[in-house]
């Protein structure tokens, strides 16, 4: 009996708290609706002008992206094209390092060709890893297919989660030589931490 009385009291307290929260939310919504209903013509015109300006900026960005080669999944012919594409595509750049004899690369190609028109803000390309030995060595590309992701001149190789190597992170394009702190999973130590422990 005492237990059912406690449950009833708890139920009533919970209902009261939910009612308070719902009332506060309803009051906020009513306040916003009242503010929108009482907008003057000048306020509406300002909102309209702001939205038009925003739409024009978005349209201009989109046209710049399309002019820079975004929106299509293309192949880069050499390493120089890779660096040029990185510099031009500051909003986002994905490069698929592939080998034509690998079946999994064809699967990645299919998915990237479907994604490229949907995500115009990011340029999606591919380059033959065998024809770009400098990049493959410099970026330490061992596993094919490999995706390189670059934003604002900073890049990172997508390392599989079960890899024992720490993630390679650094600047691919630009002059900044600062290294970011390497985050590890499950308290795995990087080589630098192990060296520090032995001192």
Asked whether residue 2 is domain-assigned, the answer is no
Q: What is the pLDDT along the chain (199 residues), one digit of tens a residue?
A: 667 777 778 888 999 999 999 999 999 998 888 888 888 888 888 889 999 999 999 999 888 888 878 888 989 888 888 888 888 887 888 889 998 888 998 999 999 999 989 998 888 999 998 888 888 888 888 888 888 888 876 665 544 444 455 554 444 444 344 445 555 566 555 544 444 444 4
- The pLDDT score that the predictor gives to residue 54 is 94
- For 106-148, the pLDDT digits (tens) are 999 999 999 989 998 888 999 998 888 888 888 888 888 888 8
Inter-residue contact 95 to 126 (CB < 8 Å): yes
DSSP result, 80-115:
HHHHHHHHH--S-EEEEEE-TT-HHHHHHHHHHHHH
Residue 24 lies in a domain: no
Domains held by the chain: number: 1
Q: Tell me the C-alpha distance between 68 and 146, whole Å.
A: 23
C-alpha 103/C-alpha 99 separation (Å) is 9
Inside any domain, residue 136: yes
Q: Which domain holds residue 121?
A: 69-175
Q: Residue 176 has what pLDDT?
A: 43
Nearest to 132 by CA among 169, 102, 99, 157: 99
Residues 6+ apart with CB under 8 A from 30: none
Please indicate, yes or no, if residue 59 is contained in any of the structural domains. no
Cα distance between residue 53 and residue 51, in whole Å? 5
CA distance 87 to 158: 20
pLDDT at 57: 93
- Does the bond joining 94 to the residue before it have cis omega, within 30 degrees of 0? no
Residue 116 lies in a domain: yes
Burial class (CB in 10 A: 0-12, 13-18, 19+), 96: buried
DSSP H or E segment with residue 31: helix 2-37
Residue from 146, 145, 143 nearest 105 by CA: 145
Cα distances from 73 to residues 3, 8, 64, 125, 129, in angstroms, run: 66, 63, 16, 5, 17
Query: pLDDT value at position 157?
Result: 52
Q: What is the pTM of this model?
A: 0.56
Q: For residue 31, tell me if it sits in a domain.
A: no
On whether residue 198 sits in a domain, the answer given is no
Tell me, yes or no, whether 32 lies in a domain: no
CATH code at 121? Answer: 3.40.30.10
């Amino acid at each position: 009996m005492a237990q059912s009385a406690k449950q009833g009291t708890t139920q009533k307290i919970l209902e009261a708290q939910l009612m308070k929260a719902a009332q506060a939310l309803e009051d906020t919504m009513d306040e916003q609706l009242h503010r929108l209903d009482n907008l003057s013509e000048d306020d509406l015109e300002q909102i309209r002008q702001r939205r038009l300006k925003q739409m024009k900026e978005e349209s201009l960005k989109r046209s710049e992206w399309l002019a820079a080669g975004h929106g299509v999944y293309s192949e880069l012919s050499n390493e120089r094209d890779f660096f040029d594409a990185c510099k031009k595509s500051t909003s986002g750049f994905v490069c698929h390092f592939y080998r034509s004899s690998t079946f999994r690369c064809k699967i990645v190609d299919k998915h990237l060709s479907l994604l490229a028109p949907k995500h115009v803000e990011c340029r999606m390309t591919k380059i033959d890893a065998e024809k770009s030995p400098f990049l493959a060595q410099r970026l330490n590309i061992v596993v094919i297919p490999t995706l390189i992701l670059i934003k604002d001149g900073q890049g990172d190789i997508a390392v599989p989660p079960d890899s024992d190597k720490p993630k390679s992170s650094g600047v691919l394009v630009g002059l900044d030589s600062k290294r970011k702190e390497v985050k590890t999973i499950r308290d795995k130590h990087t080589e630098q931490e192990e060296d520090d422990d032995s001192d």
